[in-house]
Structure 1
Amino acid sequence: MGGTMTARGAACAALLALAALTTGCSSGSSDDKPQPTVTATKTVDQAAARKACVTAWADLIKDSPDAGMDEEPSPCQGLPEGDRIDRYMEGLQQLNRANRDELQDCLDDPTCTEAPAP
């Protein structure tokens, strides 16, 4: 009888150890950790999409100075409508900065003849 009890005790201990391992695995893979990563990635993607949209506006305004806000460039699709004017204005500012930098580079170079010098 002593051998039967020891075998049962060992079997119970093995089952308890297996249950503890299974419980440990399931609690270690909780859904709490992936959510912040997904949120952070989504935020980064939104920021990158917004930046691409602003650059697309700058390019559109440069290529078509008469372009209005009637149609946003394709990289802007899916972004919130609420800050559409802000993206357009930031694109305009980006283009203005690039033009000023180009003019300043020409003014700093005595051999430049692309921009009128004062």
Structure 2
Amino acid sequence: MHIRRATAAALLALALGTAGCSSQSDGGKPSEPTTAAASPTPTVDEAAARQACVDAVASIEADANGEVPSEPVPDECSSLSQGDYLKAYMDGIQQSNQEGRDALQDLIDEASRSAEANQP
């Protein structure tokens, strides 16, 4: 029971402490509403470089375990930051998987058309 009271008191103190941080210190004038800074829009060159990286990763063959190695980094990805490369890498794998699913669906559709054409 004492643990619950202590936890509740700590949470209350924390809540009051953070509420006090929002006090106005500029003579009572309300502050301007803050807006989140917009993320910079990538330039055409950055977008083209990223897409080239995604395409390069998508063209990497998977190993015997079905894994696509992330190292060595393809030359097309050398201008990207590590975080951007990892995002492009994941998008490249996703693109490769989609291409594989599309190719499989084409084969299924072709087999289905062939089977229908060969029916008496």
In structure 1, runs of 5+ residues without a counterpart are: 1-39, 113-118
Structure index of larger Rg: 1
Pairwise mapping of residues 25-104 of structure 1 onto structure 2 (< 5 A)? 43-60=43-60, 62=61, 66-104=67-105
TM-score by structure 2 length?
Answer: 0.52
What is the alpha-carbon distance in structure 1 between the residues aligned to residue 71 and residue 103 of structure 2? 29
Equivalent pairs counted in the alignment come to 71
Give unpaired runs (5+ residues) of structure 2: 1-40, 116-120
In structure 1, C-alpha distance between the alignment counterparts of 2:87 and 2:75, rounded to whole Å: 16
> Which of the pair is proportionally richer in helix?
1
Which letter maps to 1:99?
A: G
Question: Alpha carbon RMSD of aligned pairs, Å?
Answer: 2.4
Give the distance between the partners of 1:71 and 1:82, measured in 2 at CA.
15
Aligned AA (1:93): Q
Deviations 1:36-71 (A, max 9, x none): xxxx9x7001100100000000101x2655542122
